[in-house]
């Protein structure tokens, strides 16, 4: 029947054509929805540390990985510094072309998407507080700094950051942590969900010839485990370094969060998943600042 016609979205679930859920799962919606987050993150890192070209800004590790990869491909250091935001747009535009979905979008859908992301972040906030872990936001602890002690009963922030300089202006401020959390939402989801899960699916399905079900399970579990690990041990400048004190409860929570984001990505697409991650970090950072920091 015409009214029951389903339109493939490329996710695990197919939504009715031109419904809210189908529209907002399109890559073009992800581009439009995430653009303010990208701009805010870029401007935030500039104004938090005005020495823009010194490479000493507070940066999300996944962002730095993209920079290093672009430099490896032959981009100059300054161009590589500017390219990651454009890389996000290019990848989403390519996915939009490949999907053959409509390019049209409604600005009126942006606010419902934001509300949806906030609501989807709430279960992780509740779980984080329920687990009552003793952690400190990675936005407050540079990957080079192992001396800061964790605070009690804080919400786990899902962002692994790197500070090029321990004296970076505002590195430990609420605004700096919010900026870092937004960057994590974009670039960690790009690396660990959009890129890594797609590569793992290609490996398991196309190379190893595993069933789709087993491929999905393995891709989700591996991506979630690596997502959690990279908040404790990061690879930068040719070496591994500890990004924060290891805690099994904290590690387990981030692994669960990785599974949650992977499932969300497979159902709602990149835009809502990255937005949910960003809003989770914003809410967790504010909760920590208001209720738990002395």
User: What pLDDT does residue 171 have?
Assistant: 39
Distance CA 283, CA 112 (A): 18
How many angstroms separate the CA atoms of 18 and 111, rounded? 17
pLDDT at residue 170 in the model: 37
Angle between the 110-131 and 248-287 helix axes, to the nearest 10 degrees? Answer: 130
Query: What's the pLDDT tens digit per position in 129-165?
Result: 887 544 333 333 333 222 222 334 455 556 554 443 3
What pTM was estimated for this model as a whole?
0.80
Q: What is the pLDDT along the chain (294 residues), one digit of tens a residue?
A: 444 444 334 456 677 787 889 999 999 999 999 999 999 998 888 777 544 433 434 567 788 788 778 887 877 777 777 788 888 999 999 999 988 888 888 899 999 999 999 999 999 999 988 875 443 333 333 332 222 223 344 555 565 544 433 333 333 578 888 988 899 999 999 999 999 999 999 999 999 999 988 999 999 999 999 998 888 777 666 677 676 677 788 888 899 999 999 999 999 999 999 999 999 999 998 888 887 765
Under 8 Å between Cβ of 253 and 131: yes
Q: Show Cβ contacts of residue 262 under 8 Å, excluding neighbours closer than 6 positions.
A: 193, 197, 219, 220, 223, 224
Q: What helix, strand, coil percent values describe the chain, rounded to 5?
A: 65, 5, 30
- Domain ranges in the chain are 2-292
- At 228-277, the pLDDT tens digits run 888 877 766 667 767 667 778 888 889 999 999 999 999 999 999 999 99
Q: Please provide residue 196's backbone torsions phi and psi, each rounded to the nearest 5 degrees.
A: -65, -45
């Amino acid at each position: 029947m015409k009214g029951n016609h389903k339109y493939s979205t490329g996710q695990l679930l197919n939504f009715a054509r031109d419904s809210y859920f189908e529209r907002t799962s399109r890559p073009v919606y992800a581009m439009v929805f995430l653009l303010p987050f990208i701009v805010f993150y870029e401007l935030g890192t500039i104004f938090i540390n005005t020495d823009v070209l010194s490479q000493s800004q507070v940066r999300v590790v996944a962002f730095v990985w993209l920079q290093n990869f672009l430099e490896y491909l032959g981009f100059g250091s300054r161009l590589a510094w500017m390219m990651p935001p454009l890389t996000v747009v290019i990848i989403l535009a390519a996915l939009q072309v490949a999907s053959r979905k409509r390019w049209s979008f409604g600005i009126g859908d942006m606010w419902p998407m934001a509300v949806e992301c906030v609501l989807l972040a709430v279960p992780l906030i509740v779980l984080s507080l329920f687990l009552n872990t003793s952690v400190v936001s990675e936005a407050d602890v540079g990957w080079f700094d192992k001396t800061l002690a964790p605070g009690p009963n804080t919400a786990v922030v899902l962002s692994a950051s790197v500070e090029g300089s321990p004296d970076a202006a505002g590195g430990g401020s609420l605004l700096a942590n919010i900026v870092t959390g937004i960057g994590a939402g974009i670039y960690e989801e790009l690396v660990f969900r959009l890129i890594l899960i797609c590569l793992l699916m290609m490996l398991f399905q196309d190379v190893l010839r595993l069933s789709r079900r087993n491929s999905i399970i393995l891709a989700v579990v591996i991506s979630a485990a690596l997502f959690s690990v990279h908040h404790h041990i990061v690879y930068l400048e040719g070496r591994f370094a500890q990004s924060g004190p290891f805690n099994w409860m904290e590690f387990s929570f981030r692994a669960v969060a990785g599974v949650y984001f992977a499932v969300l990505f497979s159902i709602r697409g990149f835009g809502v998943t990255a937005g949910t991650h960003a809003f989770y970090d914003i809410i967790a950072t504010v909760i920590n600042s208001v209720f738990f920091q002395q």
